[in-house]
Amino acid sequence: MAEREIDAIRKLLASKPRPVGWSERRERLDEVGSTWPVAADVRCEAVDCDGVAGEWSIVPGSELSRVLLYFHGGGYCSGSIVSHRRLVTEAGRAAGTRTLAIGYRLAPEHPYPAAHEDALAAWRFLRKQGIAAARIAVGGDSAGGNLTLALINHLRTAGEALPACAWLVSPWTDLTMSGSTLQTKDAVDPLIHKAYLDELADAYAPPGVDRRDQLISPLFADLAGLPPVLIQVGSAETLLADATRLAEAAGAADVDVTLQIWPHMIHAWPVWNANLEDGRRALDQAGQFIRAHIR
């Protein structure tokens, strides 16, 4: 059943190929990501996070005092609150929290460090609401997973309180593109290929920027002292090695890290949870992880 469902998602993606222009790519990701709307019992509310666009969501029974702060994927150049709304709202349901999705600024109009500045502003906004760091989980997929780690590394370096845990889906952790699965999984990944990543990296971190910097490629950071981390990645991803190498590095640094490799799954598959059982199962397990660590 899982393979038949993921094949249907593959057909959906093939029917809407990625266009060339940035604005067209953003429209396409919003369209594909929002194929299935949010559930009827979800309440969403736009919020200005001190100059950064955000959206609260909550479902019946979730605790207002606990928050999942979420950064969408899209290679730092596309993706939005709209494209990831179904994923974020269902993740909040699974975790029993309200969620705050962030619409950070995108490259190439706003290259590094704009997204980092927005992520930090969103964190500060939450903390000013009186929400303790220990009651916040931070998560993201793809570039959003990268941004999640960058935010935590920034807070750790500054000696500030860290979130309760981090949840990473298909994280893009190495903008130098040195992972072996960029080649070995190229034929089975319907979405992410090295030429595309090169284009995204050039837009986000233009030539002259050190892409081994820990805030750009968190794979190369000193990961000691990070909060518990859950990494979920599909076996059919070119970014598989970005996840496995991060898990190895985090584990070697004595971080409480859980790595899940989901058979047959493609990049950021929980986005399509409405019509994909493995997407729902991944969110359920992420919810259990967050519930176990948030106070």
In this model, does residue 1 exceed pLDDT 70?
no
Q: Which residues are catalytic?
A: 142, 237, 267
List pLDDT tens digits, range 247-277.
Answer: 999 999 999 999 999 999 999 999 999 999 9
Residue 142 tokens read as 């793809």
pTM over 0.75: yes
pLDDT of residue 39: 96
Confidence of residue 295 (pLDDT cuts 50, 70, 90): confident
Sequence-distant (≥ 6) Cβ neighbours of residue 269 within 8 angstroms: 6, 9, 170, 234, 262, 276, 278, 279, 282
